[in-house]
Structure 1
Amino acid sequence: MRTTFAALAVTALATVSYSTLALAAPSADDILAANKAAMGTWDGKITLNVESSYSGQGLTGTTSSLQDLQRGAFVDSYDIPPQAGSSGWDGTKAWEKEPSGTVTDQAGGDVIPNAISEAYQDQNLWWRPDHGGAAIAYAGQKTDGGNSYDVLTVTPKGGTAFEAWFDTKTHLLYRIIENQSTQTITQTFSEYAPVDGAMIAKKQVVDDGSHNLQTFTLTSAKFSAALPLSAYQRPAEDLHDFSIAGGAHEATVPFHLWNNHIYADVSVNGSRPMTFIFDTGGHTILTPKTAKTLGIDVKGNVSSTGGGDNIVTSGEATVKTLSVGAATITNQPASVLDFSPPGTEGANERGMVGYEFFARFITRFDYGNHTITFIDKKYFDPRTAGMPVPMRLYHQFPEILGSYDGLPGRFGIDTGSRMALLLNKAWAAKNGFPKPGTKTIEAQTGWGVGGPTHSIVFKGGTLKLGDVTIDHPLTMVSTDKGGAGSVESFPSNVGGGVLKRYAATFDYDNSTMYLKP
């Protein structure tokens, strides 16, 4: 599950009249030429720094976007209490600073394609004679609020495809619609005004598919000379919010394995131990009951997605301490929601421990001994951990490049999934799984943030994760219309049904998972 704030991307675009084209449908070049003329003077602009106030999803705050209009680099930042963070693209690499403060390279899922498309929009590359290498097609006219818009479908080279709507009267960019992870993001621009001769939208409204709107209102826009590329590169990480009691090198706690899920005792703000699920595909979450019992202040109604068709809303909070045995992290952002109906798993779940805790240590889930060990990174010996498997991050979700029946694929490592292997729906369809003649059944196979999940189930083939081979895992293909299992950008999912064969160790700093039978 992932919770996001839509980052401000003031896409400066625009245009000349093509009224002389009579009744003939305009070409993409006509529309973009008109847009460029309407947008004023952008030629020669190098750096743009945009700041906005934010209001939406029950929260208020500020955002900023620093854009290199020549090289396509950018940094988007938000400070929307109780959370803050940033993400960036230096033209080659993507990175993210998530709300708890970790800073990571990003190469999984659709992060890089999304970054390429954002840079494309920032630079107005579609104004170039070759459209900046993008494939662009006219998609007809659409109406909204009584106004007509010319619509283009744009697919930047290496980027995510998106729709761009241009006002047929003013030729200004009105809307961009783009798929990002499990959500369809609609950005609507209005109230254009000149800044140093260039037209910029003073208002942007974002709908993440929930109709729980977010509004960005321009407070400042400044053009300047070029900045060094280092201004857009991954910043240093500086964390001092975790410890193991007594200066010990590691802390080990027992866990229960129920429905292939890991449950262990957790203390929040010094509370008595409560049962939490431990999920490498998740974040720090408290149930509303837990937050209320502990008197924790909850703000907002932020859109959240995961397994299942639905978009749900969660509150945001801060916990002073989160302790698992002798290991503790402090001053942590947390989401507040019921991520599964009470009693679904047969456990009295009071919350979730996820990436934020695991990434601060070397984290080992020893399924054979039913223990979790948090190891001080300075004292970790990888020689004892098993077979190394390179991993990368899709935001905070571990993703492995592997194969299924010899076909290359991406596989998310998810201790929060009871399944063995869930093949991505689009990937399975492209490669013809399940194969004709395979015996299958359809069933409800789980429960995610967005509700129940449904799949076709069959005996699988050969799964390879790095140099580790898993023969014939019970395999599923999602039949959900929404959620993580249904979108092409999301990896296939390796869950507890496979992981319980191993002691699985996660070294986030060195992008490595270790598997030891």
Structure 2
Amino acid sequence: MNDLPFAPRLLMKVPAVPLVLCGISLASVLSVNAIAADAQIPQAKYQPPNNVTMIELRGKSEASGLTGRFTVIVDLRSGRYIIERDYGIYSEAIGFDGRLGWKRDRSGASHFLDSDPARAITATEAWLFRRGWCEGENGATRVESRPDEKDGEVTEAVWNVTPKSGIPVLLRFEKANGLLRQSEISLWSSRLIRHYSDWREIDGVLIPFAEKDESPEDESLELIKIDAAKVNPQNVDGKIFERPPNIHDYAVNGDKISATVPYEDDGVGRIFVPVFIDGNGPYPFEIDTGGHLILTSATAEKLNLNPIGNASATGGGSGVMHQGTVRAKDIRIGDAVIRDQPVWVIPLPDSSNDRGPRAPRAGFLGLELFERFAVQLNRKAKTVTLTPLEKFNEKPQGVRLPICFTEDAPLTRGSFNGVSGDFELDSGNAGPAIIEGYWAHEHGLESLLARGLPWAGSGIGGDYGAKLSRGDITLGPIKFPHEVVSYAGLVQRGSESTKLQAGVVGESSLYRFDMVYDYAREHVWIDPKTDVPQRAFNRAGLRLKKEKPTAFTVVFVAPNSPAEAAGIKNGEQILSINEKPASRLSYSDAVVIFSQSEGTEIPLLAGPKADGPMRRVSLRLKEIVP
């Protein structure tokens, strides 16, 4: 999500799991730096008895300013697991049914984690939870010994292990006693580092009763304390590992099958629908397949909802924003209603929510909406139709694209310049389509994209540099020839640091198609037969931010652009555009003006940030990304 006032992408944290582990004897480990496809896994020093098949752990979790109870149940034979947390204001769970991972999010709805990367992550997690390194020789597991490390006075033996069909996990054992001290895996945009301590033997099984989990790039931390452990607990039904059925906390009022509401299009890449919260409103909410149910801080304050907690949120850019949670009794979109929901509250800057003379953006409708309703976007009528998923039996027009999930946003197969990969469908991305840096590097596209036009994107993590160029994108059989794409390079933090997908295609590309999102069947339908005219990219080469109601601030001037030719400088104030005062314009309105035909003259009233003389300049629009 970039380029325009942003929508946050909330990244899922894989819940920490107190591992049910065996100790390790390091007397016969591989030589330092040895690599072997069929290397022997270090043997168990404290192998659990053969009759131990299941473990149940209960304890306390402290995370994001909240304290809650959790339950962990692990099947040591298959690696099936379920982890549940309950913080009072919301609860959540994640699990593995023996075939697929799944997630029950804070709203109570659930979905499978079934992309190829998600399957690989789950395979490694299941291997960890069933203490796979105790299994002895296993040719399907790749083992690499690393040089010993020191952590204070402790010497650690380090192993990099890739279980069958899994992702690599870095394991650090205390060399003196063979106990696991740390595991580290790389997830969607951050590492998850688990620190284990306070090991105790319960009925022949070693269990760490204390765990600290950190995601350094997301600046999140969780502390776990176990207060009860059961070996082979009675009355555990194997169905507990299955993905939970969705709860029916939603409806369409008046015995109707569907609810249809008008949407407001900002002309660039955002869709807003009227939403009532606990009977108050309507408020303009953005539809965001890459996000969640969110209120801005200003909206929460108007509703007298006081957030608790302090969770991390990341997205485009390298910064981290912190958010709390409230509960809303009733969220209504036309005749469609969702009841009793936890809602994120994020302190987005006013400049990101500004819509000029219109009411500012009040929030977002994301995963929680799509897990309950089939969502149909009609471009010609400018309407959104919501149908409960269990009642949606239509066969939409157009092309059916299968979708899957690594976390909470839908992915579909596509390609860029003929190279295939997974692309996220993110209606909250109003900037150009994104080509992810690590994927581009892996497939030899880095040098091509790095030669693009310098530009500036914006996301929940702040402003960041990018390069713009053009290329051919496909989503299934749908073609986007000569599409403007954004490339941020090999970054270390934020959503563009992911190594698990090829790119992001957002509303700025999808606006021309009727869309139907059907998460129950894991399909998205795209109808390419609409007559929506194609929009040009910003032909002024000028990025603005609405830092005060009466003026825009120049935040970026593209080289060799009309804005540079007119002498516009970063930090200057723009008081009017095309004879319209800035107070009557949003940044999206400005981009629409800047996207007119080449050769169009656009007058600006510009001046220094501090008091000083104003000047009139004229921009002659031209294509800046040929």
User: TM-score when scaled to structure 2?
Assistant: 0.76
Query: What residue in structure 2 maps to residue 189 of structure 1?
Result: 196
Q: 1:502 aligns with which of 505, 513, 527?
A: 513
State how 1:325-404 maps to structure 2 within 5 Å.
325-339=334-348, 341-344=349-352, 346-347=354-355, 348-377=360-389, 380=392, 382-404=394-416
2:519 is the counterpart of 1:487: no
Maintained 8 Å contact 1:8/1:63: no
Query: Quick check: 2:263–2:271 contact (8 Å CA) kept in 1?
Result: no
- Per-residue displacement from partner, 1:151-207 (whole Å, max 9, x unpaired)? 111111221212111112222100111112112111111111110022110101111
Q: Which residue identity is paired with 2:263?
A: P
Q: Which amino acid aligns with 2:260?
A: A
Residues 93, 106 of structure 1: 8 Å contact kept: yes
Tell me, yes or no, if structure 1 residue 417 matches structure 2 residue 425. no
Deviation digits for residues 191-243 of structure 1 (CA, Å, limit 9, x no counterpart): 11110022110101111215543111112221217966533222322313333
Matched, 1:223 2:234: no
Of 108, 126, 134, which aligns to 2:115? 108
Secondary structure class of the residue paired with 1:113: helix
- Give the one of 276, 280, 285 matched to 1:271: 280
Aligned to 2:244: 235
Q: Does 1:299 align with 2:290?
A: no
- Distance in 1, matches of 2:486 and 2:16, equals 37
For residues 388 and 91 of structure 1, what CA distance do their matches in structure 2 show? 29
Q: Deviations over 1:259-279 (max 9, x none)?
A: 311223222111122222210
Which residue identity does 1:186 align to in structure 2?
I
Aligned to 1:173: 180
Alpha-carbon distance change, 454 to 242 in structure 1, aligned in 2, over 3 angstroms: farther
Cα distance 1:502–1:142, how it changes in 2: closer, same or farther (>3 A)? same
AA partner of residue 417 (structure 1): N
State the 1:107 CA deviation.
0.9
Amino acid at match of 1:329: I
Aligned to 1:151: 158
Cα separation, 1, equivalents of 2:150 and 2:451: 47
For 1:122, the aligned partner's letter is: F
Distance (Å, rounded) in 2 between the aligned partners of 1:286 and 1:494: 24
Please name the residue that 1:320 is paired with. 329
424-433 or 4-13: bigger deviation: 4-13
Is structure 2 residue 271 aligned with structure 1 residue 262?
Answer: yes
What is residue 602 of structure 2 aligned with on the other side?
none
Task: Tell me if structure 2 keeps the 8 A contact 1:182–1:483.
Answer: yes
For the residues of structure 2 that align with 1:271 and 1:48, how far apart are their CA atoms?
Answer: 47
Select between 389-398 and 279-288 the one with higher mean Cα deviation: 389-398
Between stretches 46-55 and 239-248, larger displacement belongs to 239-248
Distance 1:512 1:161 in 2: 31
Partner of 1:203: 210
CA 1:250–1:31: 2 relative to 1, 3 Å: closer
Would the alpha carbon gap of residues 268 and 63 (structure 1) be closer, same or farther in structure 2, given more than 3 Å must change?
A: same
Checking the alignment, whether the CA contact within 8 Å between 1:14 and 1:172 is kept in structure 2 is: yes
Secondary structure at the residue paired with 1:498? helix
Once residues 86 and 13 of structure 2 are traced to their aligned partners in structure 1, the CA distance between those partners, rounded to angstroms, is: 10
Cα distance between partner residues in 1 of 2:90 and 2:16:
16
Alignment match, 1:474? 484
Do the aligned partners of 1:125 and 1:131 also contact (CA within 8 Å) in 2?
A: no
Residue 379 of structure 1, CA deviation: 5.6
The runs of 5 or more residues in structure 1 that have no matched partner are: none
Distance in 2 between residues matched to 1:467 and 1:172, nearest whole Å: 52
Mark the CA change 1:252 to 1:483 in structure 2 (over 3 Å): closer, same or farther: same
The percentage of counterpart residues that share the same residue type is: 21
Could you tell me which amino acid in structure 2 is paired with residue 66 of structure 1? I
How is 1:430-449 mapped onto 2 (pairs within 5 angstroms)?
430-433=442-445, 436=448, 440-445=452-457, 447-449=458-460
Change in CA separation of 1:125 and 1:474 when aligned onto 2, cut-off 3 Å:
same
Give yes or no for contact 1:241–1:331 (8 Å, CA) kept in 2: no
Aligned CA distance change for structure 1 residues 43 and 211 (closer, same or farther; 3 Å):
farther
The equivalent of 1:250 in structure 2 is 259
Q: What does residue 18 of structure 2 align with? A: 10
Q: Which AA in structure 1 matches 2:334?
A: G
1:433 shift after superposition: 2.0
Counterparts of 1:240 and 1:500, CA distance in 2 = 30
- 1:449, 1:69 → 2: CA distance? 40
**Aligned CA distance change for structure 1 residues 76 and 132 (closer, same or farther; 3 Å):** farther
Q: Structure 1 residues 362 and 283, CA, compared in 2 at 3 Å: closer, same or farther? A: same
In structure 2, the CA distance between the partners of 1:287 and 1:149, relative to structure 1 (3 Å rule), is: same
Between the two proteins, the alignment pairs up a number of residues equal to 508
C-alpha distance in 1 between matches for 2:257 and 2:41: 65
Alignment of 1:48-127 (within 5 A): 48-108=55-115, 110-127=117-134
Query: Is contact 2:16–2:194 with CA below 8 Å preserved after alignment?
Result: no
Match of 1:450 in 2: 461
Worse overlay, 320-329 or 103-112? 103-112
Secondary structure in 2 aligned to 1:110?
A: helix
Question: Secondary structure of the residue that 1:373 maps to in structure 2?
Answer: strand
3-state SS in 1 of match to 2:280 = coil
Alignment of structure 1 residues 13-32 onto 2, 5 Å: 13-16=22-25, 18=27, 32=42
Q: Note the alpha carbon deviations across 1:465-497, whole angstroms, 9 max, x for none.
A: 223222221122223432222211245100112
1:408 aligns with 2:420: yes
- Out of 399-408 and 191-200, give the one that drifted further: 399-408
Determine helix, strand or coil for the equivalent of 2:352: coil
Conservation of the 8 A alpha-carbon contact between 1:116 and 1:156: yes
Please give the alpha-carbon distance, in whole angstroms, between the structure 2 residues aligned to 1:144 and 1:290.
Answer: 47
Alpha-carbon shift at residue 42 of structure 1 (Å): 4.5
TM, length-normalised to structure 1: 0.91
